[in-house]
Amino acid sequence: MSAVNERRERERAHRHQLIITAARELAEAEGWEAVTTRRLAERVEYSQPVLYSHFTGKDAIVSAVAIDGFSELAAHLRRARQAAPEQGQTLRAVCRAYLNFAVERPALYQAMFVLHTDLKFASAETPPPLRAAFDEFVSCFRPDSQRRELFAEVTWSALHGMAVLSDSGRILPDGQEERLDFLVTQIADSGASRDD
Amino acid sequence: MSAVNERRERERAHRHQLIITAARELAEAEGWEAVTTRRLAERVEYSQPVLYSHFTGKDAIVSAVAIDGFSELAAHLRRARQAAPEQGQTLRAVCRAYLNFAVERPALYQAMFVLHTDLKFASAETPPPLRAAFDEFVSCFRPDSQRRELFAEVTWSALHGMAVLSDSGRILPDGQEERLDFLVTQIADSGASRDD
DNA sequence: AAGGATGTCTAGCCCTGCTAGGATTCCGTC
DNA sequence: GACGGAATCCTAGCAGGGCTAGACATCCTT
């Protein structure tokens, strides 16, 4: 491959990421319903069909944003877990970090967990960042427990329910801290690694 | 008001309900993305603008379907609660009934909890059926506990998370029974009225 | 029977995601 | 340096979405 082609490849990859970040910024600024292919094309200063030379469709763009989000979420949770104040508080710290993430980046969270994407989750084709984020929950529980994954799934489900019901106004956002406290207390009773 | 007007009023109310059930049936048969105003109008054998003489827009139609769903859910949960096999198993019975409802009527469930509607939830304008469904969860906990509502919110959130993550393929549907079992066990530890 | 109000439909607006085909630009070769 | 070919990009347009204005018809009232 010639040097010219390599440059083109670089530019193409750069534009690829440009589209993703533009979609994300637009969504975070005005919500996903404002993210249309026309507005997105205008934003990256190309015509519409260019988008389709990078992605198979709009869903694929949302999926790309979501994957970026999974990486950030995994890092966010890991940071919270490692900075947990005392032993036995890691589960609470990770859960709180999760809810914070959902509140502070609602559009990103929607791309990851609400909007329709063509991502494979619990399978072999699961994107690594997605698995990494989930594993942060898993590692909050005793390593010797064979039901760690189950615990993590339920914890994650509860947090997701709280996040999405709160975001859509179906429960009041005020009580989140209390709900979090109750959830963690109940879950931790049998399962959390409070003694590692 | 003349008898003629009364007849018209009746016919109008009948057509109103006809639209709602048509929307619901279409959604349950082919999913909400197949429910367009054109197809809906064709289904009720009227032209499009007729829909807008009954509802302010498509969102309002979805909301109407959702309200019907809340009534059914409330009745469904009540039935499960009253038919609970033994004392102390009511919470488990109600939770299982909730998940069953979500699995068996996925389109209805989406209208109630996922799609955008203009319904007010935790407020004074909350539709009574909605409040009734929520109260079924509340009444699973000790009447003397002042945190019953909190318990109910967290339980509901967890179930909703499980339902929606499972429906969208983000967790495997197989483990639902195990997750339910774990959730109920943890929640019941402090809060469920196992001795009433 | 004429007038008026009510109800309904046809036609169309502007939006969406997406694509075909022509025009342009740029690279490698002679 | 000029040309042929290929890669790239844009203009224009399609089908279908939610929604609405205005014409048409229908029916009750006077």
- Which part of chain A is CATH 1.10.10? 1-54
pLDDT of amino acid A108? 98
Name the strand (E) or helix (H) holding A169. Answer: none
Give yes or no for residue A33 having a pLDDT over 70.
yes
Nucleotides of strand D lying closer than 7 angstroms to a protein CB: 7-13, 16-22, 27-29
pLDDT-wise least confident of A11-25, A81-95, B27-41: A81-95
Give yes or no for residue B195 having a pLDDT over 50.
no
Give yes or no for residue A147 having a pLDDT over 90.
yes
Residue B94: beta bridge partners? none
Range B137-158 average pLDDT: 94
Give dist(CA A139, CA A81) in Å, integer: 9
pLDDT of amino acid A79? 96
A36 touches strand C (CB under 7 A): yes
Better-predicted residue by pLDDT, A104 or B12: A104
Give yes or no for residue B26 having a pLDDT over 50.
yes
pLDDT-wise least confident of A23-32, A183-192, B55-64, B74-83: A183-192
Angle (CA) A63 A126 A33, round 5°: 20
Give yes or no for residue A66 having a pLDDT over 90.
yes
Considering only CB atoms, which chain B residues are within 8 Å of A165? Answer: 113, 156-157, 160
Give yes or no for residue A191 having a pLDDT over 70.
no
A8 touches strand D (CB under 7 A): yes
Pick the CATH number of A57-196 from 1.10.357.10, 3.40.50.300, 3.40.50.720, 1.10.150.120: 1.10.357.10
Q: Is 1.10.760 the CATH number for B1-54?
A: no
Contacts of A20 (CB under 8 A, 6+ apart): A61, A64, A65, A68
Smallest Cα–Cα separation from B118: which of B61, B70, B63, B64? B63
Considering only CB atoms, which chain B residues are within 8 Å of A182? Answer: 147, 150-151, 154
Residue with tokens 């109600």: B94
A158, A170, A171 member nearest B161 (Cβ): A158
Q: Cα separations (Å) of A120 from A8, A30, A72, B167? A: 31, 27, 19, 13
Question: What is the average pLDDT value for chain A, to the nearest integer?
Answer: 91
* Cβ-based interface (< 8 Å): residues of B facing A: 113-114, 116, 120-122, 147, 150-151, 153-154, 156-162, 164-165, 168-172, 175, 178-179, 182-183, 186-187, 189-190
Give yes or no for residue B176 having a pLDDT over 60.
yes
Give dist(CA A184, CA B154) in Å, integer: 11
Question: What is the average pLDDT value for chain B, to the nearest integer?
Answer: 91
pLDDT band at residue A124 using 50, 70 and 90 as cut-offs? confident
Please say whether the beta carbons of B164 and A164 come within 8 A: yes
pLDDT of amino acid A196? 40
* Chain A 121-180, CB < 7 Å to strand D: none
pLDDT of amino acid B194? 47
Q: Indicate the residue type of A43.
A: R
A68-87 pLDDT, tens digit per residue, is 999 999 999 999 999 987 76
Contact call for A186 and B182, based on CB within 8 A:
no
Taking CB atoms within 8 Å and a gap of at least 24, the contacts of B143-149 are B143/B193, B143/B196, B145/B191, B147/A182, B147/B191, B148/B191
pLDDT band at residue B192 using 50, 70 and 90 as cut-offs? low
* Chain B 11-50, CB < 7 Å to strand C: 12, 46-50
Tell me the H-state helices in chain B. Answer: 3-30, 37-43, 48-54, 58-82, 90-104, 106-113, 128-138, 148-167, 176-188
- Which part of chain B is CATH 1.10.357.10? 58-196
pLDDT of amino acid A122? 76
Contacts of A49 (CB under 8 A, 6+ apart): none
B103-115 pLDDT, tens digit per residue, is 999 999 999 999 9
pLDDT band at residue A165 using 50, 70 and 90 as cut-offs? very high
pLDDT of amino acid A123? 79
B150, B153, B182 member nearest A154 (Cβ): B182
pLDDT-wise least confident of A61-75, B26-40, B109-123: B109-123
CATH number of B58-196: 1.10.357.10
The CB density around residue A4, as the number of other CB atoms within 10 Å, is: 8
**How many CB pairs below 8 Å do chains A and B form together?**
97
- Measured in degrees and rounded to the nearest 5, phi and psi for residue B43 equal -65, -40
Give yes or no for residue B196 having a pLDDT over 80.
no
The CB density around residue B134, as the number of other CB atoms within 10 Å, is: 23
Considering only CB atoms, which chain A residues are within 8 Å of B158? Answer: 154, 157-158, 161, 183
- Which part of chain A is CATH 1.10.357.10? 57-196
pLDDT of amino acid B88? 74
- List the single best residue of A58, A121, A160, A176 to mutate versus B (max B Cβ within 10 A): A160
pLDDT band at residue A11 using 50, 70 and 90 as cut-offs? confident
Better-predicted residue by pLDDT, A87 or A134: A134
Give dist(CA A46, CA A42) in Å, integer: 6
Give dist(CA B40, CA B57) in Å, integer: 12
Give yes or no for residue B122 having a pLDDT over 80.
no
* Cβ-based interface (< 8 Å): residues of A facing B: 113-114, 116, 120-122, 147, 150-151, 153-154, 156-162, 164-165, 168-172, 175, 178-179, 182-183, 186-187, 189-190
Angle (CA) A50 A52 A55, round 5°: 120
Give dist(CA A170, CA B160) in Å, integer: 11
Smallest Cα–Cα separation from A140: which of A187, A70, A85, A183? A187
Please say whether the beta carbons of A70 and A82 come within 8 A: no
Q: Could you give the 3-state DSSP secondary structure of residue A190?
A: coil
In the structure encoding, which two tokens stand for residue B180, read together? 């339910």
Range B180-191 average pLDDT: 86
- List the single best residue of B126, B141, B171 to mutate versus A (max A Cβ within 10 A): B171
A10 touches strand C (CB under 7 A): no
Contacts of A6 (CB under 8 A, 6+ apart): none
Range A120-134 average pLDDT: 87
B54-103 pLDDT, tens digit per residue, is 999 999 999 999 999 999 999 999 999 999 877 678 999 999 999 999 99
Look at the alpha carbons of B160, B161, B167, B171 in this order and tell me if their dihedral is positive or negative.
negative
Angle (CA) A158 A179 A192, round 5°: 60
Range B158-167 average pLDDT: 97
Range A151-165 average pLDDT: 97
